[in-house]
Amino acid sequence: MRNAIVAIGTVMLFALSSSAMAASGATLFKQKCSVCHGAQGQGTPGMAPKLAGTDFIKGPAEPIQETIVNGRAGADKRYKKLPLAMPKLGVKAKDAAEIVKYLKTL
């Protein structure tokens, strides 16, 4: 009986932790990015570019992660028609990697 309870507890813990891990990129995006890039990464006209399914997001993870960590402003801006820069939001590299994984699922 005790073993069964321990086993159930272990399974539940695993289910909880794996769902929390899966949610973190999504949660970070919702908290820090969706205000500009839209809830589904669809972009906001005149404000921030689309992220869902674009060539940049489908490409290598490294430049995406770098953009998230460092932002993109001034001469580095690629979307000259958008008045805003991509702000440096203080996202840690580890969190940025989770966000990149999430962006690739959009």
By beta-carbon proximity to ligand HEC, the closer residue of 15 and 96 is 96
Residue from 15, 20, 84, 93 binding ligand HEC (CB under 6 A): 84
Residue pair 96/29 in contact (Cβ under 8 Å)? The answer is: no
Kindly determine how many residues on this chain lie close enough to bind ligand HEC according to the rule CB under 6 A. 25
DSSP string, 29-57: HHHHTHHHH-TTS--BTTTB---TT-HHH
How far apart CA 82 and CA 37 sit, in angstroms, is 12
**Which residue ranges make up the site for ligand HEC (CB under 6 A)?**
32-33, 35-37, 48-49, 51, 54, 56, 64, 67-68, 72, 77-79, 82, 84-87, 89, 91, 99
